[in-house]
Structure 1
Amino acid sequence: MPAPTRLLAAAVTAAACLGTTAVPAAAAPDADAVVSRGVRIPAFYTPPAALPAADGALIRTERLPLALSLPGVDGPLPGRATRLMYKSTDAGGQPMAVTGAYIEPTAAWKGSGPRPLVALAPGTMGQGDQCAASLGLERPLFLNGQTVSVGYEDLAIYRMLARGIAVVVTDYAGLGTTDRLHTYVNRVDEAHAVLDAVRAARSLDGTSLTDGSRVALFGYSQGGGATAAAAELQPSYAPDVPLAGTYAGAAPADLVAVTEAIDGSDLAGALGWSVNGFLQTDPALRPIADAHLNTAGKAALKDLSTMCVGDALLAYNSARSTSWTTDGRSLGAVIEAEPALKAFLAGQRIGTLKPASPVRVATGTADDLVPHAQARELAVAWCAKGADVTYKPVVLLPLGNSLINHFAPLLADQGDAISWLADRLNGRPADSNCSGIRRQP
């Protein structure tokens, strides 16, 4: 069995252990329903024509049934979930609707102060609306013969709920919501979606959150980039959302380096999600894409636009972008040759602004998918700006497969990352190790 297939099988097994099984294809949908790879997207995810003015304002809510829910003395375990749609602002300054979920834990918070809140930014889910993390809470494993969706972030969410920490999860721009394409790894869209999720959770009725509830951010991979960008933009975009701490694991801070690394890898499909997202953000880039992409490349982008990460692992494993371009050059080479593309990606660089609150940057030393060196450079850049940085190299032996090298640190470091956030939520100061970061791997 190839390594990507083994990893996908492991993720499927883990999702099944959370209390769900593979489900059959959905019944024939209504004529007006949005369908993605045979999955009927609930009407909740279609935004209204008019949106509220305030960022973070709730648009609609409904109860969200968790896949794993057990009876408890004080209520269902791990808690009660609410599906959210809230207003945010995209990178172009335009209003957008974003979905997500808030989970009120049944467990008591035993730390200092009122119950805290963590905003979780999911790792790579895909680009199809059926891949949204909020849907993954309801169905951690979805198989219908056309798509494979795995809610692997549920593990981290449940671990925080068990500590009595409330959690709000964002689906990001265009993932779940049916009015636009997901702008994969767009730092501004992601940062705004994360920060506005906090605002939305705070305004939700019937929770135990108070004005004094401390807030922290948690994210790995795509999520690490989203929380890193949110920590940078919080002082200017959301000064009303002070942060106790931010965990940014395996953050794709330098998209040029990440593009080169994933080309030909197990997760080569992410190249298509990136390009699709760039074109959604800046349609002026489309003539450049049209000039360089051949028929196979354009077909791949269209195909990937409705795929989840499991689908891409199976369909585009080890694909090389040289087969997608008119002249056989890689997408990295095309970016290097096109000033507009270079400028766009330069604008996506994370590490140019100083976070105003403590950050924990973790990266696997063997990670060659979201390269360790560029993630470490993020910590170095923040340290140079005087930020409060805790840098954690997750030292693991190379395991012979780029996806496993990337995924293993998530599991190996997750407990320590949550404990670090819990300390910040308890009001304990962080111990910055900027002074010794250049001596670490």
Structure 2
Amino acid sequence: MHRRAVGLLAVVVAAALTVAAAPAAAATTAPVAGEQLTSPSDPFYRYDGSRPLSEYRPGDVLKQRTLDYHVLGVPTPVKAVQLLYRSTDARGRPSANVTTVVRSHLGDGSKAVSYQSFYDSLDPEDGPSRAIAGGLSLGGVIPHAEALVMGPLLLKGYDLVIPDTEGQSAEFAAGPAYGTNTLDSIRASTRAEGTGLHAGTRFGLFGYSGGAIATNWAAALAPQYAPEVNRQLVGFAEGGLLVAPAHNLRYVDGSLAWNGVIPMALIGLARSYGIDIQPYLSDQGLKVLGELEHGSITDALGHYPGMTWKDLVKPEYKDPNSISAFVEAVNEVNLGQAATPTVPGFIGQGNAGWLEGTFASPQGIGAGDAVMVAGDVRALARQYCATGNRAITYEQYDLLSHNGAMPYWAPRAMAWLDARFAGRTAPTSCGLIPAGNSLEPERPVVVAN
């Protein structure tokens, strides 16, 4: 069966996924034959129980099903267990989210990687669970491509847990929600029957770009939010990290491609924190945000070359800090204001943003990888060293951009995680990391009359 599966997945660039994966347990909530699993009406994604969601513990399993793992819409012999579980949204409210567990036939349930996808979307239909269940959309192509990263992890004997990190409201850019969704996904995977995972399973956190946001926030929140999960973690490996979003928005302002994340972040933060952003927008801003309301990163990149913050807002709001609700939100998602992780970390960061059309910002935010600010990432790594976690490895790739750094970072991050699972002492870059930017909170300014 594995040879036939390899042949199938080679056509869709994911052979390693199948060759390493084992059939999963039978579903407790099986989909109806022929049911379009990824449609908005898919009942699996809705919590419809009579018991209030708030009465469940974070990580409790609400529904469970087993289905074929799909790549580019093509079903494979690989089985995946999907779980609807209780979590917490950006405003601290009970929420329901979905994660996917894929078993490695080379593993024994003792070690697993929580893989955080970089699917970056304002549409929950683009989440990895939908792609795995057979969905195929432009915004959902990224989780399919990530099979090339996840396959090698399965071949190393790691079971995989793949959360929809943005939740079922697509809380784009709301890092704390990414973190709670990730931690509760791990909880759910060890509580569900048939996953082979348990309280003794050791976990590594792994993610790039949007996945790095979830990875770092999970590591930072774990000691307080999920201490039992924190005890299971061997470390976190991440690359292309968003630290202080206000800095990133200034960095990409007016760039050729990555400036499209400005309206995406406005929509995501407004949605996540209940902000009415419309009164601040110009006519162009209303048009652009309307176009991207349910868009993904594929709809934003390169679609608005040269567009700036000032183009999106009314003249009196040309300084982003003149919108007090926005200032509050970007401070909520500033990793520099979060707790220091207590487990080892591997952080990789590109620094050749000019390769993707982003240059040093005239507003004082220096070089990065075209979207992520390298000085912010260095500052965060130095902060972790200074606040008690000296098991931090930081690597800066001065000749690689955001997209270019990922294929170089991934095997290095995997090797670093392998060493942590093997019990080897984590190396440190503390004392060797160059200075970075200030990660102080943003300060609101008063709009002149």
Q: Does TM, normalized by the shorter one, top 0.5?
A: yes
3-state SS of 2:428 partner? coil
Residue 205 (structure 2) aligned to one of 209, 214, 217: 217
Could you tell me which amino acid in structure 2 is paired with residue 89 of structure 1?
T
Cα distance, 1:256 vs structure 2: 0.9
Partner of 1:166: 159
The letter of the residue matching 1:127 is L
Residue 6 of structure 1: aligned partner = none
Of 343-352 and 239-248, more deviation after overlay is shown by 343-352
Q: Determine if the alignment matches structure 1 residue 425 to structure 2 residue 421.
A: yes
Does residue 348 of the first structure (1) align with residue 339 of the second (2)?
no
Residues 342 and 15 (structure 1 numbering): CA distance in 2 closer, same or farther, change over 3 Å? farther
* C-alpha distance in structure 2 between counterparts of 1:392 and 1:204, whole Å: 35
CA contact (8 A) 1:136 1:154 kept: no
Q: Secondary structure at 2:96's aligned position in 1?
A: strand
Between Structure 1 and Structure 2, how many residues are aligned? 382
Q: Percent identity over the alignment?
A: 24
Q: 61, 83, 106: which one pairs with 2:64?
A: 61
Query: 3-state SS of the aligned residue for 1:199?
Result: helix
- Alpha-carbon deviation of 1:190? 0.9
**C-alpha contact 2:284 2:311 (8 A) present in aligned 1:** yes
Give the secondary-structure state (helix, strand or coil) at the position aligned to 1:346. Answer: helix
Q: Could you tell me how far apart the structure 1 residues matched to 2:380 and 2:135 are?
A: 32
Are 2:198 and 1:198 equivalent residues in the alignment?
no
Superposed CA offset, 1:43-83 (max 9, x none): 322332642511001111212322359xxxxxx87x53112
Distance 1:379 1:428 in 2: 21
- Verify the 8 A CA contact 1:85 1:97 in the aligned structure 2: yes
Question: Any unmatched runs of 5+ in structure 2?
Answer: 1-9, 16-34, 353-368, 437-449
Contact 2:344/2:389 (8 A) holds in 1: yes
Partner Cα distance (2:187, 2:346) in 1: 23
8 A contact 1:96–1:173 mirrored in 2: no
Q: 8 Å contact 1:276–1:301 — kept in the other structure?
A: yes
1:314/1:136 CA distance change after superposition, 3 Å? farther
Q: Secondary structure at the match of 1:168?
A: strand
Report the equivalent of 1:84: 83
Matched AA of 1:59: L
CA distance, structure 2, for counterparts of residue 384 and residue 15 of structure 1: 49
Alignment-mate amino acid for residue 263 of structure 1 = D
Match in the other structure for 1:182: 170
Shift of 1:41: 5.7
User: Which amino acid in structure 2 is aligned with residue 355 of structure 1?
Assistant: P
Secondary structure of 2:103 counterpart:
strand
- Tell me how far apart the structure 2 counterparts of residues 225 and 307 of structure 1 sit (CA, whole Å): 19
Asked if 1:303 corresponds to 2:286, the answer is no
Q: Does 1:46 align with 2:41?
A: no
Q: Which amino acid aligns with 1:123?
A: F
1:372 aligns with 2:374: yes
Give the Å deviation of 1:148: 6.5
Distance 1:281 1:148 in 2: 21
Judge conservation of contact 2:120–2:172 (CA < 8 Å) in 1: no
What TM-score comes out, normalization by structure 2 length? 0.77
1:103-148, Cα deviation, whole Å (9 max, x unpaired): 1112236xxxx521211222143111221012233458535xxx66
Match of 1:362 among 331, 348, 358: 348
> Given that residues 216 and 245 in structure 1 are in contact (C-alpha distance below 8 angstroms), is that contact kept between their aligned partners in structure 2?
yes
Q: Say whether the 8 Å CA contact 1:105–1:165 is kept in structure 2.
A: yes
Aligned to 2:235: 245
2:356 aligns with none
Q: Which residue of 2 aligns with 1:438?
A: 434
Could you say which residue in structure 2 is the equivalent of 1:278? 269
List alignment gaps of at least 5 residues for structure 1: 1-13, 20-32, 70-75, 399-404
Answer yes or no: is the 8 Å Cα contact 1:63–1:81 preserved in 2.
yes
Is the CA contact (8 Å cut-off) linking 2:378 and 2:433 kept in structure 1?
no
SS at match of 1:244: strand
The answer on whether the counterparts of 1:262 and 1:268 sit within 8 Å (CA) in structure 2 is yes
Shift of 1:422: 1.8
Contact preservation (8 Å) 1:133, 1:171: yes
Q: Which residue of 1 aligns with 2:399?
A: 397
For 2:126 and 2:411, the matched residues in 1 are separated by: 25
Cα distance in 2 for partners of 1:434, 1:58 equals: 40
Q: How far is 1:355 from its partner?
A: 1.0
1:393: Cα distance to partner? Answer: 2.3
Which of 402, 415, 435 in structure 1 is aligned with 2:411? 415
SS in 2 for 1:105: coil
Q: Is the 8 A contact 2:381 2:394 kept in 1?
A: no
The aligned residue for residue 23 of structure 1 is: none
Asked whether the equivalents of residues 140 and 150 of structure 1 are also in contact (C-alpha less than 8 Å), the reply is no
Determine the structure 2 residue equivalent to 1:327.
Answer: 315
Confirm or deny: 8 A CA contact 1:192 1:230 kept in the other structure: yes
**Taking structure 1 as reference, are residues 390 and 101 closer, same or farther at Cα in structure 2, changes over 3 Å only?**
same
In structure 2, what residue type is equivalent to 1:364?
Answer: G
Which one of the candidate residues 124, 131, 138 is aligned to 1:129? 124
Q: 1:232 to 1:184 in 2, by over 3 A?
A: same
Counterpart check, 1:383 vs 2:385: yes
Q: In structure 2, do the counterparts of structure 1 residues 381 and 423 end up closer, same or farther at CA, with 3 Å as the change threshold? A: same
Instruction: Report which structure shows greater RCO (CA 8 Å, sep ≥6).
Output: 1
Structure-2 residue corresponding to 1:103: 102
Residue 20 of structure 2 is matched in structure 1 by none
Amino acid at match of 1:150: I
* Higher mean displacement: 213-222 or 337-346: 337-346
Amino acid at match of 2:69: L
Please state how far the C-alpha of 1:317 moved relative to its aligned partner.
5.0
What is the alpha-carbon distance in structure 2 between the residues aligned to residue 394 and residue 140 of structure 1? 36
Q: Verify the 8 A CA contact 2:114 2:160 in the aligned structure 1.
A: yes
Identify the residue that residue 7 of structure 1 maps to in structure 2. none
